[in-house]
Amino acid sequence: MNRTKSWLFAILLAALYVLHQDFWFWSTARPLAFGFLPPGLWYHAGFALVTSLVMWLLVYAAWPSHLEETVRPDRAESGRAESGQEHAGS
């Protein structure tokens, strides 16, 4: 991950952390989404979905593939061979 990308993701994750502390909806039970979900629930449901989206961005833009390259080929190979069987078994 280059420096700019690192900073961008650090800011994005920090922003998510701040957004989680939604004190602005603390004492209100309205508006109700779908007529029954209060803000304390629909906001945090949305938060979980947005987090999943950010995780997708993180995985596809900043995946630490260099870590995989440090693994000994024989160990990585044994894992791959067993992986196929594990799938069939499960």
For residue 58, which phi and psi values (nearest 5 degrees)? -60, -45
Indicate which single residue of 7, 23, 31, 61 sits in contact with other proteins (rule: CB under 8 A).
Answer: 23
Examine residue 48 and tell whether it contacts other proteins (CB under 8 A): yes
Examine residue 36 and tell whether it contacts other proteins (CB under 8 A): yes
Q: Judge whether 26 and 83 are in contact, CB under 8 Å.
A: no
Residues that bind other proteins (CB under 8 A): 13, 16-17, 20-23, 25-29, 32, 35-38, 40-41, 44-45, 47-49, 51-52, 55-56, 58-59, 63-65, 67-68, 70-72, 75-76, 78-80, 82-87, 89-90
